[in-house]
A and B are shown apart, each in its own frame.
Chain A
Amino acid sequence: MQEILTFISEHQLMFYMVVLMIFVGIELIEKVPSVLHTPLMSGANAIHGVVIIGAIIIMGQADNIYATILGFIAVVLGTLNVVGGFVVTDRMLDMFKKKK
């Protein structure tokens, strides 16, 4: 118990951030026309690829074979998420360009 409380108080800024970001997320999506839901979902999909930063950290700090192999796979998969996500979104949005 004590430890959880310490954790929360040490990370209080992050907890504030969580609450605020939940509201920001809701605020950002609320008024979006449904035509953009698919690209938006795809764009959000690319953004959670930010998890790749964790993969880079474990890969970069790896000092044994276990961490090296898993870290390597994690970076590959994370990159797939990020690059694939942004490229797919970009392709979808290309379709929305006004054509003269």
Chain B
Amino acid sequence: MKQSILDIIYMVGAISFIFGIKMLGNPQKAKKGNLIAAFGMTISIFGTIFLYEGIKTSNYIWIFAALIIGTVVGTMMAKKVKMTGMPQMVSFFNGMGGACAALISLVEFNHLQHNPETTSLSTLAIIYLGLIIGSISFSGSIIAYGKLDEKIKDKTLPLQQVINVGLLLFILVLGGLAAYGIISNPIMIYVVLTLSLLYGILFVMPIGGADMPVVISLLNSFTGVAAAMGGFLYGNMVMLVGGILVGSAGTLLTVVMCKAMNRSLTNVLIGNFGGNKSGGGEAKAMTGSTKEITKTDLAVLMKYSKKVVIVPGYGLAVAQAQHVCHELEQALENEGVEVKYAIHPVAGRMPGHMNVLLAESNVSYDKLIEMDDINPEFKTTDVVLIVGANDVVNPAAKTDPSSPIYGMPILDVEDAAHTVVFKRSMKAGYAGIENELFYSPKNSMLFGDAKKSLTDLVTELKNL
């Protein structure tokens, strides 16, 4: 009876995950979808506590204490984090899930040591796989978190790729031998644990900060697979469904993200993008001069424009200039100017990150136009304001085959009548590449802090 009720709870949980993810893909229903998935998770958790065969009531106190600690800390962290720090937060939580999976494997292995009669090749193999994937996901996510938070710098060892591949194979062989019982020393599990943690670090370490979102998405699907291993271990459908669903959706999401940058996954993982190797990708030296525009001139120019498009980049978010940006948009609309935002798929730190950041400042959802829809509109645009973005408007992606970003789809801002780049200085972008757009006769530069420049522009506009 208890078991049947639990089975039904798990079934409802699994179905709610499917519906949750489905609804998360629709802007109108996304919030509800998240709540539905959370509901499925809650009933599955409490169902397990009260109905699972063999849970000792004497351990309830520990379970609830742990749940309360996790809930309080988790809620606090999630509420406190700034919207710009969202990607590293996701990475951190992902790492926690990976660590959880690895710990389950450790305890289950220990359990088998005390009850050798239940040991079998398949359970051992599942335990080892859960351990390996979980620990890689944990240490990898923590490194990714550190990189996005700019606490950890990119580092590449000599022969890094050879070492990485070799280490991974070694871990798998070791795990395989241990599962087969050829090496039966129980210390093995800790050796595999340590090596997997090390692999996670080495795996993420050389990948450039700009590619971190792809890595997080990939590690996300790793944790999903690790959770699914738990599903096999306990014959638990909700763990299996949740895990595989995330594993598969996460892998696809990773591929989609790579496509948005027009690069293959292998290229991201091995390409050493943004690292210190030149690899023939040295951009040609820029010649020519840039011209500056004063804020007053720009204000006049915009006031008499019909259409202004703003290209926001991560620099905008870092300068916390989203709110002023929205004020400028309103000031221009009061003058009868049409204002739109052009959102590159990789604007910000993750696909869609920029939308979250702008939406936070009350920018209306339907003013955010995706790349493919806005590109034809640039021809009829009078002024394009490029705020804190660089690589996504770099024409080298189309014209210079030797450029590391060659082939990445970009926003065709050069079709517009005027472009204005807001920049702190002439420094290259996140990918470390020169931008020839700056030298175009149609382009002007506006140097200084993005937030201050935008604030001044709003004042200028109002005084005109």
Q: How far is the CB of A39 from chain B (nearest CB, A)?
A: 6
How many angstroms between the C-alpha atoms of A8 and B30 in the bound complex? 37
Q: Which of B17-33 contact A (CB under 8 A)?
A: 17-18, 20-22, 24-27, 30-31, 33
A73/B121 in contact, CB under 8 A:
no
Q: How large is the interface on B (under 10, 10 to 19, 20 to 34, 35 or more residues)?
A: 35 or more
| B94 in the interface (beta carbon within 8 A) | yes
Q: Is B34 an interface residue (CB 8 A)?
A: yes
The 8 A CB mask of A36-79 against B (1 = contact, 0 = none) is: 11111111111111111111111111110011101111111111
B126, closest chain A residue (CB): A7
A-facing mask of B383-421, CB < 8 A → 1, else 0? 000000000000000000000000000000000000000
Contact A70 B103 (CB under 8 A): yes
From the candidates B30, B248, B365, name the one contacting A25 in the complex (CB within 8 A): B248
User: Could you tell me if B99 and A77 are in contact, using CB atoms closer than 8 angstroms?
Assistant: yes
Size class of the A contact interface (CB-based, 8 Å): 35 or more
**Inter-chain contacts of B243 with A (CB < 8 A):** 48, 50-51
- Inter-chain contact count A-B, CB under 8 Å? 375
Q: How far is the CA of A91 from the CA of B54 in the complex (A)?
A: 37
Report whether over half of chain B's contact residues are helix, strand or loop; otherwise say mixed: helix
Q: Which one of B26, B66, B368 contacts A76 once the chains associate, using CB atoms below 8 Å?
A: B66
Say yes or no: A54-B104 contact (C-beta < 8 A), given A25-B244, A25-B249, A84-B89: yes
Contacts of A94 in B (CB 8 A): 31
Q: Please give the distance in Å from A54's CB to the nearest CB on chain B.
A: 4
Query: Assuming A37-B253, A50-B44, A74-B107, is B49 touching A60 (CB within 8 A)?
Result: yes
CA separation between A59 and B61, bound complex, in Å? Answer: 10
Task: Report Cα–Cα, A29/B33, bound state, in Å.
Answer: 14
CB pair B97–A49 under 8 Å, yes or no, is yes
Query: Which of B22, B56, B93 is the one whose CB lies under 8 Å from A45?
Result: B93
Which residue on chain B has the smallest CB distance to residue A88?
Answer: B78
Give Cα distance in the complex from A34 to B45, angstroms: 32
Chain A residues proximal to chain B, CB less than 8 Å? 3-4, 7, 11, 14, 17-18, 21-26, 28-63, 66-68, 70-99
Q: Which 3 A-B pairs have the closest CB atoms?
A: A79-B70, A25-B248, A60-B55
| B interface residues with partner A (beta carbon < 8 Å) | 13, 17-18, 20-22, 24-27, 30-31, 33-35, 37-38, 41, 44-45, 48-49, 52, 54-56, 59-60, 62-63, 65-67, 69-71, 73-75, 77-79, 81, 83, 86-87, 89-90, 92-94, 96-97, 99-101, 103-104, 106-108, 110-111, 120-122, 216-217, 220, 223-224, 226-228, 230-253, 256-257, 260, 343, 345, 350-353, 355-356, 359-360, 362, 364-365, 368, 370
A-B contact pairs, 24 of them (CB 8 A): A3-B121, A7-B121, A14-B232, A21-B244, A26-B248, A35-B351, A38-B355, A40-B21, A41-B253, A44-B245, A46-B38, A46-B93, A47-B246, A50-B41, A50-B227, A58-B108, A67-B111, A73-B103, A75-B100, A77-B70, A84-B75, A85-B90, A90-B31, A96-B365
Other A-B contacts than A34-B370, A82-B70, 20 sampled, CB-CB below 8 A, are: A21-B240, A21-B248, A24-B248, A26-B248, A32-B25, A37-B253, A38-B86, A46-B37, A46-B38, A49-B227, A51-B97, A53-B48, A54-B234, A58-B108, A67-B111, A76-B66, A76-B69, A79-B69, A95-B355, A95-B360
